[in-house]
Structures are given as structure tokens and as C-alpha cells.
Amino acid sequence: MRRQTVWHLLIINLMISCVSCKVANNEHQQSLKELPLKEDEEIPKIINERYNPKNQRQELDLDELNDIERQDFELQDVNDNEDGRYVGYCKDAYILMWPGNSRKFWSYGYVYLNEPYLANCTMRYYYNTRNYPGDPFCRFGFKVTGSFESHNGPYTQCTDTDYVLLNDTDGNAQYYCGEQSTIEWATSHNDFEFHFVTKPNSPRGKGFFVVIQSFKLCGGAFNMVDNGPTGNIYTPLFPASPYPPNIACTWYFAVPSTDSKEISVRIGCDTFSLQTPFNNGTEYCLDAVTFISEVPGNIKTYCGNTLDSKNHVVIGTHADLLVTFRSDTTIQDVGFNCTYEYILYAE
């Protein structure tokens, strides 16, 4: 009789354990449904696990779960040669991109679920670019292209309805709203904000789909081996549009030392059109290019059109050469496109 009682207790304990396991498993599945999406290569798998009850795949290990469960405001990184693809959620997040990379970015439901975007949504994503590896002189900006498809409800201004807002730290802000908007926006800064805001009673629409690209604006460290004996330097956005306001660029030309030859850098400009210098008895360059050599006192500054059509060529003095460009906040001109050339002088 005691033996039967013991067996009955064991069976009851096993039944309780199974129920507990089932409850825990259900809680685990529920937590999976609440996980944010990760990078593009895992999106289809996680989408299937969330929205296909018949899917029996259980491929997520603990490391993957730790990667997926990222908190708000944590830096996310793109570190691959392919385009990254990302889904935007109604939250705040910081996105850290590698310079020169791009990513596809869309509102929740746009691609995999084929559903309208969410109502009562406030999304603020803060994008920033890492420093370019091995070259502190490179400067990068951002370019955003794509579309936003909303509803055709009445509104007076974009903030009255659902909208996308792109904004940098220099007041370069652009709203996109309405039934169909084409997004084309660029900034010379290495950071910007992407806002997506929808109203609580919004009839909603398809949403946004954009490509965010980090691109090189200007600057760089050059040497005769890696950058060749000749090449070009130019102002940001040349020749598509005038250079941006309040920007600074630096190009550094390293001149190798040799025993038998002396080497200099020669720079001539096919196009050179900067803001006309201010003159109140003394001429002062508002936007300017400055050439600085390691030879003491060898500093030359040019503005206006003084170097246009190669009517004047700047030659370094057998030493490293630093070229800087700066613009103010008033008037922006075409800019410049100059050719550099390493010249060898035989003794």
C-alpha cells in the first residue's frame, strides 16, 4: 500500500512538473513575440517564429537572444560590406554606422507583414557615423532617399497629421507627409535625427521606406603610394550643388623623404569659385582655402576665383602639405575641383 502511495506521489509530481514546463514554455514563446527585430539576415526567421504558429523551427540560442534583446538608446552598428536592412519601431534608439555604409530602413509592417504602419506612434532614431579607421581627416555626411505613403486626410501642415522629419544639428530640417511623398535629403554633418510620428486616430497608410547612406564629404590623408602620383580634391557636394555652410575640410599630403630626389605637391584647380571676399579697405576671405607647409611661415590663403582655370598653381616646398577649406554661414558658391600631383625633382 505504501509503495502504491509513493508511486502515486511521483506521478502527481511529474504531472505538476509537466504543467509548469508548459507554462514556462508558453511564457518563453510570449517573450519571443515581444522581442525587437535584429539585423536583416535574421528578420525572416524571427518573423516566421512570431506570426506562423505551425513553424516548429527553434534555432535561436542564448547568444542570439542576448543580441536581440537590446535596450532603448543602445548603439546599433552596421559592420558588413552588404547593405543592412532594418525595421523601425515606436521607440527611441541610437544607431552607429560605419562610414561609407548604407542601410535600408522602413516602418513596421511595410515589408514582411504588408500592413499599414501603427497609429499613435512616436519614433526617434539618432544616427551617427564612426570615425573613419586610420584616417582622422576624412569627413562624412548622410544622404536619405526613399518615399513615405500616408493617408489622404485633410491637414494644414505636416505636424497636423502623420509625418516623417529629418533634422541635423545645423537647422537643416525637412518634413514629409501626405498621401505620397518622395524623400530626398542630405546633411554635411556626421549625425542626424529621423522622426516618425503618427496620430492616435490616424487612418494610417503604407508607411516609409528609405535608404540611409553614409558618404564621404571631403578631406583625407594622402600619400604617394596609396593615392597615386595624381588625383583630385573637391568641396563637399561638388558639382551637384554648392558647398554647405559652416563646414571645415582638411586634406593632408605626406611627402616621402628620399636620398636622391626631392618631392613636392603641386595643386591646380579646374574650377575654383568661392564667396567673394569682404572688402572694407582690407580684403578678408569669408570662405577660403589655406595651404600650410611644414616650412615655417609658408601659409597661403585663397578665396573668390583666384585659383580658377589653373591661372595659378600652388606648389609645396618639399615638405608635408596641409590644405584646409572652411565656409561661413552666409553665402555658398560652386566650390572647387582641384588636381594634386606629386612631383619628383632629380638632384
What pLDDT does residue 296 have? 63
| Pairing outcome for strands 299-302 and 230-234 | unpaired
Q: How far is the C-alpha of 117 from the C-alpha of 196, rounded, in Å?
A: 10
Provide the 3-class DSSP secondary structure of residue 11: helix
Q: Could you tell me the pLDDT band of residue 182, with boundaries at 50, 70 and 90?
A: very high
DSSP strand pairing (102-107 vs 84-88): parallel
Query: What confidence score (pLDDT) does residue 156 get?
Result: 94
- Tens of pLDDT, residue by residue over 273-288, are 999 998 877 788 999 9
Grid coordinates standing for 295? Answer: 616650412
CA distances (Å), 110 to each of 37, 114, 149, 193, in order?
14, 5, 10, 21
Residue 29 has pLDDT above 90, yes or no: no
Cell of 290: 589655406
The domain ranges of the chain are 30-70, 71-217, 219-346
Which of these, 74, 83, 63, 330, lies nearest to 211 by C-alpha position? 83
Mean of per-residue pLDDT scores for the chain: 77
More confident residue, 172 or 42: 172
Average pLDDT over residues 168-186: 93
The dihedral sign for the CA sequence 26, 27, 30, 31: negative
Domains 71-217 and 219-346 share a fold: yes
Give me the torsion for CA of 43, 49, 52, 55, rounded to 10°.
120
CATH number of 219-346: 2.60.120.290
User: Does pLDDT of 165 surpass 80?
Assistant: yes
205's CB contacts (< 8 A; 6+ apart) are 116, 117, 149, 150, 151, 162, 179
Q: Which of 100-104, 237-241, 316-320 has the lowest mean pLDDT?
A: 316-320
**Which grid cell is 88?**
523601425
Write out pLDDT tens, residues 10-24. Answer: 444 444 444 433 333
Q: Is 268 helix (H, G, I), strand (E, B) or coil?
A: strand
**Per-residue buried b or exposed e for 256-283, using 16+ beta carbons within 10 Å of the residue's own CB:** eeeeeeebbbebbbebbbbbebeeeeee
Q: What is the DSSP letter of 39?
A: -
Architecture of domain 71-217: Sandwich (2.60)
Q: Is 120 in a helix, a strand, or coil?
A: coil
- Please give the single-letter amino acid code of residue 273: S
Q: Which region among 53-62, 139-148, 177-186, 276-285 has the lowest average model confidence (pLDDT)? A: 53-62
pLDDT per position as a tens digit, 219-265: 999 998 888 899 999 999 899 889 999 999 999 999 887 665 788 89
Residue-wise pLDDT tens digits, 76-98? 333 433 345 678 889 999 999 99
Axis-axis angle for helices 2-33, 43-51 (nearest 10) = 130
How far is the C-alpha of 137 from the C-alpha of 219, rounded, in Å? 5
